[in-house]
Amino acid sequence: MLDEKPSILIGVLGGMGPAATVDFVAKLIAATHAARDQDHIPLTIWSNPRIPNRNEALQVPGAPSPLPHLIYGVRQLEAQGASFIAIACNTAHHWHGEMQAAVSIPILHIADVAIAAMRAAGLKAGDAIGLMCSDGTLASGYYDARLDAAGFKTLRPTAAMQQRMMGCIYAVKEGKLDLAKDLALEVAGDFLAMGARNLLLACTELPIALGEAEMARLPCLDVTSAFADACVRHALALERQNQGVA
End-to-end Cα, the chain, rounded Å? 29
Cα–Cα distances in Å, from 55 out to 66, 91, 154, 237? 10, 7, 21, 34
- Measuring CA to CA, which residue among 101, 112, 106, 88 is closest to residue 9? 106
Q: Is the previous residue joined to 211 through a cis bond, with omega within 30 degrees of 0?
A: no
Catalytic residues: 89, 203
- Answer for the pair 177, 209: CB distance below 8 angstroms, yes or no: yes
Q: Which helix (H) or strand (E) segment is 75 a member of?
A: helix 67-79
Residue 210 backbone dihedrals phi, psi, to 5 degrees: -80, -40
